[in-house]
Amino acid sequence: MQLLGLLLLLPSLTEAVTNNQRRRVVQSFNVRRNASSSSTPLQVGNGNFAFGADVTGLQTFKPYGILSTWGWHNFSLPTTANQTSVDDFTGLDWWTHGRLVNYDQPNPAENDISNWLIQNPQRINLANIGFTFGDATATEDDLQQTSQVLDMWSGQLTSSFVYKGKTVSVKTWADPESDTVAISVESDLLTSGGLGLFIDFPYSDRNKFDAPFVGVWNATSNHSTTLQQTSDNSATIQHTLDENSYFTNVAWEGKGSNISGPAKGTYRYLFTSGTSRLQMTVSFSPAPAPASNCRSRSRSTTKNTRSLDTIVAASTEWWRSYWCTGAFIDLSAVNSPNATELQRRIILSQYLLAVNSASSNPPQESGLVNNGWYGKFHLEMYLWHSLHFARWNQWPLLWRSLPDMYQRFLPFSYDRARLQGYAGARWGKMTDPTGRSAPGEINSLLIWQQPHPMYFAETEYRAFPNATTLEKWDEILTASADFMASFAWYNQSTGVYDLGPPMYPVSENTNPNATINPTFELAYWRFGLQVASSWKTRQGKSVPTEWVKVRDNLAPLPVINGTYAVYEGIPDMWTDPATTNDHPAMAGIYGLLPPPSEKGVLDVNVVKNTAEKIKQVWPLDESYGWDFSMLAMNSLRLGDVEQAVAYLLHPIFQFDDVGYPVGGSRVPTPYFPNSASLLMAAAMMAGGWDGSPGPHFPEAWAKDVDVDGFAPSL
Ligand SMILES: *[C@@H]1O[C@H](CO)[C@@H](O)[C@H](O)[C@H]1NC(C)=O
Ligand SMILES: *[C@@H]1O[C@H](CO)[C@@H](O)[C@H](O)[C@H]1NC(C)=O
Ligand SMILES: *[C@@H]1O[C@H](CO)[C@@H](O)[C@H](O)[C@H]1NC(C)=O
Ligand SMILES: *[C@@H]1O[C@H](CO)[C@@H](O)[C@H](O)[C@H]1NC(C)=O
Ligand SMILES: *[C@@H]1O[C@H](CO)[C@@H](O)[C@H](O)[C@H]1NC(C)=O
Ligand SMILES: *[C@@H]1O[C@H](CO)[C@@H](O)[C@H](O)[C@H]1NC(C)=O
Ligand SMILES: *[C@@H]1O[C@H](CO)[C@@H](O)[C@H](O)[C@H]1NC(C)=O
Ligand SMILES: *[C@@H]1O[C@H](CO)[C@@H](O)[C@H](O)[C@H]1NC(C)=O
Ligand SMILES: *[C@@H]1O[C@H](CO)[C@@H](O)[C@H](O)[C@H]1NC(C)=O
Ligand SMILES: *[C@@H]1O[C@H](CO)[C@@H](O)[C@H](O)[C@H]1NC(C)=O
Ligand SMILES: *[C@@H]1O[C@H](CO)[C@@H](O)[C@H](O)[C@H]1NC(C)=O
């Protein structure tokens, strides 16, 4: 038994990819630009903090974001009678199997507080840092020889340009360990008065999607800044937006520099450098940091006062270690433009996800680039966003949020279930850092986030089959499964447990009052209850009988005309466009989810028919990008590797020159579930799955593919 367990854990039996090889592959995709993009920055960051740069290496002409995990703002509460407090929100009651259940949905009678809860808090753009030129009207067109390169091996962004005949060289890094950007600038213009820096502070925007730039730059009420010079070489600016406040600590090297401002009616501070070689750090924190010296070599005990040299060394080491310790796919020896493009997407996604999504909260869809859904995160997307860190052997990045996030959100989730008359904990959807789920009809009726903890936990147990793993997930899985068992409704006439109505399935476009027994959710419920049950067995505890009863008596997966349907009895499946224009989640039951081991639950022929039908009729140009990865994973398990690659390189599934996943017709760019799901599909190609270890690449590529460090997926 022991031996078998060990064997299953062994990564695929291919040669290790050496560090030199990794370096060569990574750096061959280093991003180069010679002009600012109007849609995406170049970023340095650490997963909880990121700085988006334009072609100057700062934010001179394009106010890209400086976003963080902790920087949020509330607008003031409404003053409407009875709607002045979040407790005044009561939601709506809907009939649910013969009883009224309360859902957090916008209530027309309490519009103002409903909207407030949707829009608040929003993630804030902490600041804007750029160059000022002697000429205030200078534009990017006034720069010559613009060029920049982002070295993903060290996390260093190097930019240079010529202004008025003089060269300006800029380097930008992020500290892996604090919310700090380190900036080095070399130019004679710095001391001649031809070049300075500015720091500006925007107010929050009320837009659901605040992209490509976050914040309002001309709001002059409701926020304020104060400057405090904390030493000859440092200053702190406190920015207060209504009730929220944070600190920007600026530290520099050398004599004769000066920070001043803001000019009346603005929030713009000017920095002039006393030396032609400027070394500066700008760190952000919710609390004030002690005074610091940018040059101090001693490793400061406070993370927000780390010197530029310390940060450069830390960034170099962090990225080297990131690339060398995780799993790796090397397609560079494959002679095929498609393999090269897949490799490009993989490497750039690995960089961007470490910058934008390795956070202590679930990542938002647009990472730390700009704001989608006010900067909130969606718990049903969390698996797509983050499971790849496990599959690519980057566990410490996943442990930043797991299982702690679920633990923190348990109280809200127990309450949600209890108030609705269910057992256990019902996980929310569009969530802020306190765990509150924003009001919404879909938000309150979506259920596929519920078994995610089981997927994460089971994957972790594969890698770490020990008592610590079992213990740390036990309460979370128990609470999740208790809800799942009590949510399933025993239908006397059919003798099975139904899911819904009301509910929304993965495809969020069905009538919630008619939606019953959707294919994906039924399969996922069974999977989740199965994992929760084995979790108890592994600990020598008894398995709650309700879990087993529900797991073994769920409604059968709905089949219409030889294919799996969106939900049981959905009218005109495949012929009504409304049945085929959202996520094709039926493909998720044999790609993302492992097939059930019991016979008769799932029919592979029906899975095949469904995949074929999706390929024929699904208008994928309307879909969110992770559908392509989900379909690719489905194709892989069905044995069609070529089709899997075709999905991953589908013309609609786009990644820009820097690797940002293009939003498509529905959302702004970037939409990171695309990148994250791509890495999951790639991990499945490299590592295979239970019973079919990898690698699984197209036959023509196979002999030249090198993979390292992947275990089979569930
Ligand atoms: C700038 O970059 C574009 C795209 O990479 C390239 O086509 C163009 O030649 C470059 N221009 C200069 C002046 O380097
Ligand atoms: C916003 O207000 C809510 C409700 O009072 C509160 O729970 C949350 O902590 C506030 N967030 C911020 C960033 O002030
Ligand atoms: C709402 O506020 C008004 C004015 O303060 C009050 O007359 C009314 O009773 C309140 N209604 C509810 C439902 O609390
Ligand atoms: C679903 O039913 C509830 C009553 O239980 C009703 O208020 C709601 O409008 C219905 N929703 C839809 C989309 O039909
Ligand atoms: C700020 O700028 C926006 C967009 O240009 C404009 O619609 C708005 O009226 C301006 N607000 C103020 C207070 O000037
Ligand atoms: C400032 O706050 C007031 C009162 O809360 C609000 O009416 C106004 O819209 C806010 N101003 C901005 C620019 O958001
Ligand atoms: C810093 O600059 C401001 C504004 O230009 C000026 O008023 C102030 O005297 C300068 N301080 C020093 C120490 O140079
Ligand atoms: C047990 O698993 C945890 C992850 O859940 C891991 O951090 C730890 O190193 C493992 N302990 C042992 C003794 O293997
Ligand atoms: C019982 O199941 C059947 C078939 O799925 C369904 O049509 C019926 O509405 C269910 N009964 C109730 C009361 O929900
Ligand atoms: C079943 O499939 C056949 C052949 O494609 C088609 O003619 C028929 O209309 C379908 N029936 C239903 C109920 O969708
Ligand atoms: C490369 O990928 C494209 C898009 O999927 C596909 O059309 C093409 O046939 C592929 N080329 C090769 C040589 O496989």
Tell me, yes or no, whether 52 and 109 share the same domain: no
List the residue whose alpha carbon is closest to atom 7 of ligand 6. 76
Residue 1 lies in a domain: no
Ligand 6 atom 5: the closest Cα is on which residue?
76
**pLDDT value of position 281:** 98
Residue-wise pLDDT for 565-610, tens only, equals 999 999 999 999 999 999 999 999 999 999 998 999 999 999 999 9
- Ligand 9 atom closest to Cα of 501? 14
For the question of whether the overall pTM of this predicted structure is more than 0.85, the answer is: yes
pLDDT at res. 304: 52
pLDDT value at residue 623: 77
Determine the distance separating the centroid of ligand 4 and the alpha carbon of 102, expressed in angstroms: 12
For the chain, the C-alpha Rg in angstroms (whole number) is: 26
499 CA distance to ligand 9 centroid (A)?
10
Q: Select from 466, 472, 477, 538 the residue to mutate for testing ligand 8; criterion: most ligand atoms less than 8 Å from CB.
A: 466
198, 229, 258: residue to mutate for ligand 7 pocket, most atoms within 8 A of CB: 258
Q: Which residue, judged by its Cα, is nearest atom 13 of ligand 3?
A: 82
Q: Do residues 126 and 90 share a domain?
A: no
Atom of ligand 8 nearest to the CA of 464: 2
For residue 235, give its domain range. Answer: 36-72+122-318
Cα angle 181, 196, 188 (rounded to 5 degrees) comes to 105
Residues 541 and 646 in one domain: yes
Distance, CA of 58 to CA of 55 (rounded, Å): 7
CB-based contact 66:58 (threshold 8 Å): no
Nearest CA to ligand 9 atom 10: 491
Quote the CA–CA distance of 295 and 301 in Å, as a whole number: 15
Q: Please work out whether the CB of residue 82 comes within 6 Å of at least one atom of ligand 6.
A: no
**Is residue 698 domain-shared with residue 553, that is, in the same domain?**
yes
Looking at 318, 351, 366, the residue that finishes a domain is 318
Token duo for residue 625:
């990008």
C-alpha 469 – ligand 8 centre gap (Å): 7
Q: What is the pLDDT of residue 664?
A: 82
Which ligand is closest to the CA of 490, given by its number? 9
Domain end among 58, 90, 119: 119
What is residue 79's predicted lDDT score, i.e. its pLDDT?
97
Report whether residue 81 contacts ligand 3, using a CB cutoff of 6 Å: yes
Do 569 and 530 share a structural domain?
Answer: yes
With a 6 Å cutoff on the Cβ, whether 643 touches ligand 11 is: no
332 lies in some domain: no
Biggest CA pair distance of the chain: 86
Whose C-alpha lies nearest to ligand 9, atom 11?
491
Residue 19 falls inside a structural domain = no
**Measuring from atom 5 of ligand 11, which residue has the nearest CA?**
646
Q: Looking at residue 621, what is its pLDDT?
A: 82
- To test the ligand 5 pocket, which listed residue (216, 218, 222) has its Cβ within 8 A of the most ligand atoms? 218
Pair 265, 287 in one domain: yes
* Residue 454 maps to a domain: yes
Considering every ligand atom shown, identify the ligand nearest to the alpha carbon of residue 617 and give its number.
Answer: 10
Same domain, yes or no: 62 and 95? no
SS (H, E, C) 469-531: HHHHHHHHHHHHHHHHHHHCEEECCCCEEECCCCCECCCCCCCCCCCCCEHHHHHHHHHHHHH
**pLDDT recorded at residue 397:** 98
Per-10-residue mean pLDDT of the chain, 714 residues long, equals 43 72 98 98 98 98 98 97 96 98 97 98 98 95 98 98 98 98 98 96 97 96 95 96 97 94 94 97 88 45 73 98 98 98 98 98 98 98 98 98 98 97 98 96 98 98 98 98 98 98 97 98 98 98 98 98 98 96 96 94 97 96 88 98 97 96 91 98 98 96 97 97
Q: 497 with 618, same domain?
A: yes
Q: How far is the CA of 440 from the centre of ligand 4 (A)?
A: 13
Q: From CA 480, how far away is CA 414, in angstroms rounded?
A: 9
Query: Length of the chain, please?
Result: 714
Q: Which atom of ligand 11 is least distant from the CA of 650?
A: 5
Q: Is 109 in the pocket of ligand 3 (CB under 6 A)?
A: no
The predicted pLDDT at position 9 comes to 46
Please give the number of the atom of ligand 3 that sits closest to the Cα of 81: 2
425 and 474 share a domain? Answer: yes
Domain check: are 313 and 433 in the same one?
no
- Ligand 11 centroid – CA 548 distance (Å): 46
Count how many domains the chain has.
3
pLDDT of residue 290: 58
Place of tokens 């019902």: 426
Q: Which stretch of DSSP H or E encloses residue 44? A: strand 42-45
